[in-house]
Amino acid sequence: MTTEDAVAEQKSDTVLSIGLHPSAVDYSRYPQIDEATLTARIAAGENALREAGFDIVTCQVPADPDAAEATLRDCATGGRFGVAMIGAGVRMAPEHTLLFERLINVATEIAPGIRFCFNTSPETTIDALRRGLQAR
């Protein structure tokens, strides 16, 4: 099988949504929210995605890169993903740079040819996914 065949085989509308588990967030950096509020916002965002017709697999990871890699591999087992959305909590905090790199590298290993999109909050995920799916 050629690389092009492998990439074509991976094309899917299934979305892999990767973000920090709410228990892994350092809320001292975000005094306006707490774990319960963030958990509720994430759940509302996921419900909105499903109601909008997105086929989504959610993967909430710990902050430790090794543990996050294992969690991502477990979440993605057997899936075919066209787009991965990595949440702002992973990307925007400097202390998560290694985690972000690891997640990108593992996602591209799991799903060659996968596209990435990025939100700025749980509420902007739908727009990010629409951009990611259109770009394919």
In a domain? residue 95? yes
For 3, 80, 111, the CA distances from 6, given in Å and listed in that order, are 5, 11, 9
Q: Residue 2 above 60 pLDDT?
A: no
Q: Residue 110 above 60 pLDDT?
A: yes
Q: Report pLDDT for 11.
A: 53
What CATH number did the domain enclosing 49 receive?
3.40.50
In a domain? residue 10? no
Taking only the tens place, the pLDDT of each residue in 22-40 is 999 999 988 999 999 999 9
Number of independent structural domains in the chain:
1
| Mean of pLDDT values over 129-136 | 82
In a domain? residue 7? no
Residue numbers of the domain that contains 99:
15-135
* 5 pLDDT tier (thresholds 50, 70, 90): very low
Beta-carbon contacts of 58 under 8 Å, excluding residues fewer than 6 positions away, are 17, 19, 46, 75
Q: Report pLDDT for 1.
A: 42
User: What is the Cα–Cα distance from 120 to 122, expressed in whole angstroms?
Assistant: 7
Q: Residue 50 above 50 pLDDT?
A: yes
Q: 21-26: which pairs have CB atoms within 8 A and are 24 or more residues apart?
A: 21/60, 21/61, 21/62, 22/60, 24/61, 24/62, 24/63, 25/89, 26/93, 26/95
In a domain? residue 81? yes
Q: Residue 13 above 90 pLDDT?
A: no
In a domain? residue 75? yes
In a domain? residue 128? yes
In a domain? residue 43? yes
